[in-house]
Amino acid sequence: MSYDIANPDPAGTITSLRSFGYSVEAAVADLVDNSVSAGARRIDVYFTWAGPASWVAVVDDGKGMTTEGLVSAMTIAARGSFKPRASDDLGRFGMGLKSASFSQAARLTVATSSEAGAPEAVRTWDLSVVSATGEWRLLHGTDDETTQTLVQLRPDGGVGTTVIWRSLHRFDVGGLTAEDTRAQRQFYTEATRVEEHLGMVFARFLSGRNRITMTVNGTPVKAWDPFLSGHPSVQRLPTEDLPVGSHTVRIEPFILPHPRKLDSEQQEQASGPAGWLDQQGFYVYRRDRLILAGDWLGIRGFRRDERYNLARIVVDVPAEADAEWAIDVRKSAAVPPVGVRRHLQRIGTATRSRAAEVLSHRGRIAARTHGAEFIYAWRVDKRDGYIRCRINRDHPLVREVMQGGPDSAVNAKALIRLLEETIPVAALRIMHDGDVADDPEPFLGAAPKEVGDVANRIYAAFITQGRTPREAKERLALMPPFDQFDGFWQQH
């Protein structure tokens, strides 16, 4: 059969790699993966502001590479995901160094040495050269400015690797100068995000027996333990080893202590970089490297909810199962295989239920110690399987507003403010047993006249405020919960 050789356009390919959706912190983490895989014991990340000439570097003391190894590492997909890897290799597709770097910079320089005292091998990808020539020209060496930077970063030489990004996409733009303080703040804000992200993703390496040291601009990266595993009140549910195909997935659920059992520093640590709500869920690890930090993995019926803030579940996936779990190039997404989803749902349901019980128990204790019922502006109860949330008409301020009088307008403003500030989130969380089945329903069981009376008062208010009858009805018909009911407002 005849055929054509359809080689991809170099410049177009590299430009496409910019669209992989890397954040700067995920891109730096991909470089750190390579350093960890190279056996580095120390990894230093540098963000240096210089306007359009700003640069980012990652320096490690790993085993380095030969010239041939460097050229292979700089080649797009030189090692596919189908090739066997060492047990400590965090790579996946052979794309990380290139895709991560091109997502952030137009110039990538790597300098490496595998023998003490030997000269470094240096190679550079310059996207402007690739674009101009239409060829995969991997440049030998680098420019004078980057050479000086390499010497500054590794003045004593030695075994290891340095990766430098220059011509950063977001900062190498026309009109930007080194004196632009707003851009400078953004640049160093990204450095702070990178520090937090590395502490989260590589926590097991930063705190394990064979501890690795990492810094960002000289500041040590601190490991983030999302499970507060050293706290005496943490509940550990039984660990399960689940066979999935020819591999085993280990699942270990944790229930964090109620926030009232944590001091301010522990609460800040537990809330993590994304906050309590976004940190609940499954934590997927691959070779001790965190892939997902708090996600319910699309399990049916699972959604983020404040009742489950204390539920965090470790899922250890072997690297050999990458394909089954759909680990992506960025190593920041995973999809559990069908065979394990029912187990995740079972374990997740039990963990979420236990987490809700911890909050519920503390909430009931608090309710019993707060005194008389007239203190609360809201009443929350559950009847016939449905939650009802009502304003407490016995509250003194509510009674004053209902009675009218010369100060009614002032009292009404105070009441509105009180209601805004005391929405009964905790009580609703405690009583909400299901995900959606018992959601409060507006005017549940109310007579049509009662619904109409409330709608009439709102309609009258619209008219008083200058709306025409037609406009008032149209607005009322769009206003929850009247958009769910039939009434005069539907008749234009």
Please check the confidence at residue 364 and state whether its pLDDT lies above 60.
no
Bridge partner list, 282 = 295, 313
Q: Are 111 and 122 spatial neighbours (Cβ–Cβ below 8 Å)?
A: yes
pLDDT per residue as tens digits for the range 123-152: 999 999 998 998 899 999 999 999 999 999
pLDDT per residue as tens digits for the range 318-336: 877 777 776 665 556 678 8
Whether the bond between 481 and the residue before it is cis, its omega within 30 degrees of 0, is: yes
Residues 29 and 169 in one domain: yes
Euclidean distance between CA atoms 440 and 138, whole angstroms: 63
pLDDT per residue as tens digits for the range 87-113: 454 444 446 799 899 999 999 999 999
Residue 329: burial class (beta carbons within 10 Å; 0-12, 13-18, 19+): buried
pLDDT confidence band for 193 (50 / 70 / 90): very high
Please check the confidence at residue 366 and state whether its pLDDT lies above 50.
no
CA-atom Rg of the chain in angstroms: 30
DSSP state of 142: -
Residues 266 and 282 in one domain: yes
- By C-alpha distance, which of 256, 254, 292 is closest to 274? 292
Least confident range from 404-408, 426-430, 467-471: namely 426-430
Residue where a domain terminates, one of 313, 338, 365: 365
Residues 248 and 352 in one domain: yes
pLDDT attached to residue 331: 59
Q: How many CB atoms sit inside 10 A of residue 48's CB?
A: 15
Please check the confidence at residue 170 and state whether its pLDDT lies above 70.
yes
Q: Is residue 138 part of a domain?
A: yes
pLDDT attached to residue 253: 95
Euclidean distance between CA atoms 492 and 229, whole angstroms: 62
- By C-alpha distance, which of 424, 352, 434 is closest to 388? 424
Domain that holds residue 396: 370-440
Residues 64 and 202 in one domain: yes
Residues 16 and 71 in one domain: yes
Residues 57 and 76 in one domain: yes
Residues 260 and 409 in one domain: no
Bridge partner list, 391 = 378
Q: Is residue 230 part of a domain?
A: no
Question: Total domain count for the chain?
Answer: 4
Helix, strand, coil percentages (3-state) for the chain, rounded to 5, are 40, 20, 40
Angle at 212 between CA 67 and CA 78, to 5 degrees: 30
* pTM metric for this prediction: 0.70
pLDDT attached to residue 125: 95
DSSP secondary structure, 307-353, as one string:
GGTTEEEEEEE-GGGTTTTT--TTS------HHHHHHHHHHHHHHHH
pLDDT attached to residue 68: 94
Euclidean distance between CA atoms 179 and 472, whole angstroms: 54
Q: Are 307 and 359 spatial neighbours (Cβ–Cβ below 8 Å)?
A: yes
Query: The sheet that has 42-48: what strands, in order across it?
Result: 139-140, 121-126, 105-113, 160-168, 55-60, 42-48, 213-216, 219-220
